[in-house]
Amino acid sequence: MIRIEHLVKSFGPLEVLKDISTEVDSGEVVAIIGPSGSGKSTLLRCINLLEVPTAGHIFVGGIDITSPKCDILKVRQNVGMVFQHFNLFPHKTVMGNLTYAPMKVRGLSKADASKIAMDLLNKVGLAEKADQYPSRLSGGQKQRVAIARALAMEPDVMLFDEPTSALDPEMVKEVLDVMKALVRTGITMAIVTHEMGFAREVANRVLFLDGGYLVEDAPPDVFFSAPKSDRAQQFLEKVL
Amino acid sequence: MNLDFDQIIPSLPFILNGILVTLRFTLLSALFGFTLGTLLSLLKISNIKPLKWFAEFYTSIFRGTPLILQLALVYFATPQLIGYKISPIEAGVFTFSLNSAAYSSETIRAGIMAVDKGQREASMSLGVPYRPMMLDIILPQAFKNILPALVNETIALLKDSALVSTIGVLDLMRRAQVVAGQTFLYFEPLLVVGVIYYVMVMGLTQAANVLERRMRRSD
Ligand SMILES: Nc1ncnc2c1ncn2[C@@H]1O[C@H](COP(=O)(O)OP(=O)(O)O)[C@@H](O)[C@H]1O
Ligand SMILES: [Mg+2]
């Protein structure tokens, strides 16, 4: 579903991603972990072109999104993203947040978009909040709405950038539960997270980044019990 | 000191009619000015260098010369340059719109920059194209942030609109001068329009406060 070949990303003189190659199969769940500043967000953001790669290729669903001929907007419609700080539209209701892009971008009628939205709100347990503005919601509720908003575009791939890092501890579980339910639907997911227990439980593979290098790419059992690199060992000692 | 308001009472309807002229002039200029100012602000934040330079240059010209000079230039030079006999009111609205666009573009640019960049990223990640992203997501939030500044700009326009009396627009100010000329009384008509300007400015300020409070309640 996603193939990354020799990806390099620089911000000016600063090389943030260094020759990264990996693949994510359809339906696979990949956890991306690593120390702060190691390039996790940048890697994720390259996959929907919020950052433009400096070199290398990224294929999503067989399409080379780094090719100049590629329609970026089309790619993004197919790749949902969930942010650490939710980024809900504050001037729209929950329903408005979920129906905006499907109507504007996919051209769905209001009725169709609302139906999809209501369905998703039911799934994330927030149907009764449909007419509320985001400012009335708790952090956990906001993030569940944000997940529903991304899903409303019916993407094939979902990207999560530390979806629980901005949440109070008691709200982490409700968001992780929604994500676990999502894993069971078989959608392809790439998740940057510091929740090691969660990564171990849901991920098919763990990518460990350090200093812009993809240092390890292994199944969670292998990675968590017997990390090959010193860097990963040190990292796990600190966080586990 | 002997004030004689009785003598100007017959002229009062004439003066009061100037309220409409001044208000309509101000609102039209604000409307065109903010629209053009929004476009300029988008040029200023664009990545296309020549467009950016154009917008910066435009702003510096209108900020760097007296408004009354711009007004005189447009009014007197237009017929000479393109042979179109521009009316005073057209010249006024045109100049004030261009001028206000220069000032408000800075305010609007700041308002856009103050919108959390996550809003842009969320829109982009949903595949929303640039135009609807700006119109539906970014600008509504930007305008909400800068509403007080835009009201101040409108108030400045309202007060500066008295300058169009110099090219013969029959606004409040001009009407006071006309009445003064007819009655040989200066203080009374000027005082009357002074009070009217003051009341209009206070009214606008009050309306903005109400609007702001209502919008704050919606967050
Ligand atoms: N837009 C940017 N401009 C310049 N440097 C950036 C930008 N975004 C990220 N960086 C730098 O790239 C490095 C990796 O950042 P990031 O991908 O956010 O790391 P992580 O998500 O793993 O914490 C950091 O050193 C960060 O300062
Ligand atoms: Mg990050």
Taking residues B178-197, report their average pLDDT: 92
Confidence of residue B207 (pLDDT cuts 50, 70, 90): confident
Is B125 within 8 Å of A50 when comparing Cβ atoms? yes
Residue B160 has pLDDT above 90, yes or no: yes
H or E element that contains A4: strand A2-11
| B137 reaches A (C-beta below 8 A) | yes
Split chain A (240 residues) into runs of 10 and give each run's mean pLDDT. 95 95 95 95 95 95 90 93 97 97 96 97 96 95 97 96 94 95 95 94 95 94 90 88
| B115 reaches A (C-beta below 8 A) | no
CA A212 to ligand 2 centroid distance, Å: 12
Residue A213 has what pLDDT?
Answer: 95
Residue B9 has pLDDT above 90, yes or no: no
Confidence of residue B196 (pLDDT cuts 50, 70, 90): very high
| B129 reaches A (C-beta below 8 A) | yes
Is B127 within 8 Å of A153 when comparing Cβ atoms? yes
Nearest to B39 by CA among B175, B149, B135: B135
Residue B16 has what pLDDT?
Answer: 93
pLDDT in tens, B103-131: 999 999 999 999 999 999 999 999 999 99
Confidence of residue B218 (pLDDT cuts 50, 70, 90): low
CB atoms within 10 A of CB B130: 14
Q: What ligand has the least distance to the C-alpha of A52?
A: 1
Is the backbone of residue B111 left (phi > 0), alpha (psi -120 to 50) or beta?
Answer: alpha
Residue B8 has what pLDDT?
Answer: 84
pTM of the complete model: 0.89
H or E element that contains A228: none
Residue A149 has what pLDDT?
Answer: 97
Report d(CA B116, CA A89) in Å as an integer: 10
How far is C-alpha B217 from the geometric centre of its chain's CA atoms?
27
| B215 reaches A (C-beta below 8 A) | no
Residues whose CB falls within 8 Å of the CB of residue A114, separated by 6 or more in sequence, listed in order: A95, A99
Interface residues from chain A to B (CB-CB < 8 Å): 48, 50, 73-77, 79-81, 83, 85-91, 100-101, 104-105, 133, 135, 146, 149-150, 153
Report d(CA B125, CA B120) in Å as an integer: 8
Instruction: Using a pLDDT cut of 90, give the percent of chain B over it.
Output: 79
Residue B1 has pLDDT above 70, yes or no: no
Please report the ipTM that was assigned to this predicted complex: 0.93
CA A24 to ligand 1 centroid distance, Å: 23
CA distances from A218 to A148, A205, A232, A236 (A): 30, 5, 12, 14
Tell me how close the Cα of B211 comes to any Cα of chain A, in angstroms.
15
Residue B79 has pLDDT above 70, yes or no: yes
| Strands A55-60 vs A2-11: parallel, antiparallel or unpaired | antiparallel
Residue B2 has pLDDT above 80, yes or no: no
Report d(CA A81, CA A189) in Å as an integer: 10
Residue A45 CA: nearest ligand 1 atom is: 17
Q: Which residues of A touch B128 (CB under 8 A)?
A: 73, 100-101, 104-105
